[in-house]
Amino acid sequence: MTTARPRDIVRLKIQLLRNSLRGQSWRIALFLLGLVIGLFVGFGVGLAVSLTGLDGADPATSRDIAYLVAVLLGTGTVLAWALFPMLFFGIDETIDPARFALLPVPRRVLLAGMLAAAFVGVPALTTFLATGGLAIAAGLRFGPLIALVSLVCVLVGLLVGVVASRALTSALAAMLRSRKMRDLAAVLIAVLASMAAPLQWGITALVDSGSMSRAMAISRVLAWTPLGAPYAIPFDLAEGRVGPAALRAVIIGVTLAGLLWWWSATLESAMIGTTAQGGAARAATPGGAVGALIPRSLRGLVRPSPYGAIFAREWRSWWRDARRRASLLSVLIASAVVPIVVLFTPFQPVVEGAPTPEPHRLIVGYGVTFAGTIGGMLLANQFAFDGSAHAAHLLAGVPGRTELRARAAALAALTVPLIAVITSAVLVASGGADWILAGLGLLATGFGAAIAAASLLSVLAAYPMPDVNNPFALNTGSGSAKGLLAAVAIVATIALSSPVTLVSMLLDGLTRGIVVLVVGVAYGVTAAWLGTLIAGDALDRRGPELLAAVTPRR
């Protein structure tokens, strides 16, 4: 018997990847499509990066832009590597340390193997291609020697990101034993992720509005953090500053050592895996079981019936299920962020002292419609939230329309008032107070049309979500393709809502407010009614098929 080597773990990962593709041509096609898109985007970004700043007439500015791009893109990449696996792709469960718990694999070997395995795959390759553009840029600017340095630095940056992600997930696995903690973490990270968009927008706005100096200051600070340091070193060396370069290298080295130590220290507890703990009992509610399910506060909205039961359960699930709560919060944040970004982004260069230009009607109209749309799109894969639990509805023979309408009504009751308040606040803040009534109408239109699209999508293109306790685990592969379908549906929904959006642009003042409000609500309600009618009939026909589609495969 020989001991395992890191090579074996890399081979295991490749084998697992191959097995997951075997015999399913659509999966292979999806994988290849992902690969091509990934490489294409990576290559495109890389090429764009390597060309930035080269055409600059002023050499100093051109150098600054190159520096800015290198450090910001680099920092973003490392940060994305550290956080994205948890957010969007889930921890790469193919090489789960818990699976090695019973095998006599030395920790050092496991560490090296998992690290090497993390570099095998599309994401690593794509990232390398994207940041590799920095090396080409360095070569074009400073010559081949610096290009080589830059290449090494790009690889080191990738290494920092990968090790950070491994250490974080491993440490979290130890921390997230209890369901409460896991739920909390999922929500926290979702909120952080939704904040990433405004942050990015802020930086873009800074650069756009000509505040180069401020952006430069930010990137100089970032260049002293382990996130940005690898990408600043080529500039240091090319411009003859050996000292700072060496100091940055030390920062990176210490960080890597620290992360590796942290990872190795937490790996053992991650290997033990999560153990189930009994949950605390909820406060006893007086009255019968039905009163517990449909409390007094909901009695005004629904009666005890199949519709009422589904409404009440959905109402609770949006808060009690961490995965749903995370999506709900993200959508609420997005419903604020999107109109803000749209309304405040100057489309003409800002002239100091001049009044802020009034936002364009087209932009207001579509911005607000979009806020409603993403709210309704929460239901695009609504049956997968509870996976095979849908069997209970099949066994009870719940009519499809009742089911879909109860789910839509619960979401509407929960989100529409909030989104309405948020959007109105954004409108007032951006000087568009006369848009509030019309805004509510547009919201209703977007939300109703989205309910229609999402209902159809959730019945016809459902895909499973993994049935595990890890809130970060999301499935890759089949899900992402159908997730793309949801993106297409958003565009389609906005197109569907266009008649009302157009009406809002042609009118003015109070007339606009009243007409758009009335027409918008009617349009939204009709769209939702029709959509759930058609999707409900499909659900009645395809119940068992839907159940199979949302049941995770083991």
Shortest Cβ distance from residue 23 to another protein (Å)?
8
| C-beta of 166 vs 401, nearer to another protein | 401
| C-beta of 239 vs 545, nearer to another protein | 545
Identity of the amino acid at 436: I
Q: How many CB atoms lie within 10 A of CB 77?
A: 25
| C-beta of 242 vs 284, nearer to another protein | 284
Cα separation of 80 and 83, whole Å? 5
| C-beta of 290 vs 488, nearer to another protein | 290
Tell me the DSSP string of 478-509. Answer: HHHHHHHHHHHHHHHHHHHTHHHHHHHHH--H
Identity of the amino acid at 475: N
Shortest Cβ distance from residue 484 to another protein (Å)?
19
Q: How many CB atoms lie within 10 A of CB 546?
A: 22
Cα separation of 154 and 256, whole Å? 15
- What residues have CB less than 8 Å from 186, skipping those under 6 apart? 322, 323, 325, 326, 471, 472
Shortest Cβ distance from residue 306 to another protein (Å)?
5
Q: Note the residues at the interface with another protein (CB under 8 A).
A: 23, 179, 276-285, 287-294, 304-306, 308-310, 312-313, 316-317, 320-321, 386-389, 391-398, 467, 541-545, 547-549, 551
- Runs of H (alpha helix) within 273-383: 289-293, 296-299, 306-320, 322-344, 361-376
Shortest Cβ distance from residue 313 to another protein (Å)?
6
Q: Which one-letter DSSP state was computed for residue 435?
A: G
Structure tokens that stand for 368 in this block: 């607000």
Cα separation of 234 and 147, whole Å? 8
Q: Is 542 exposed, middle or buried (0-12, 13-18, 19+ CB in 10 A)?
A: middle
- What residues have CB less than 8 Å from 497, skipping those under 6 apart? 369, 373, 442, 445, 446, 449, 523
Q: Terminal CA-to-CA distance of the chain, rounded, Å?
A: 31
Shortest Cβ distance from residue 304 to another protein (Å)?
4
Shortest Cβ distance from residue 490 to another protein (Å)?
24
Shortest Cβ distance from residue 270 to another protein (Å)?
22
Q: Compute the chain's Rg from CA coordinates.
A: 26
Cα separation of 242 and 82, whole Å? 29
Shortest Cβ distance from residue 416 to another protein (Å)?
22
Cα separation of 127 and 125, whole Å? 5
| C-beta of 78 vs 294, nearer to another protein | 294
Residue 523: which H helix or E strand, with range?
A: helix 509-550
Shortest Cβ distance from residue 402 to another protein (Å)?
10
Helix, strand or coil for residue 455?
helix
Shortest Cβ distance from residue 475 to another protein (Å)?
16
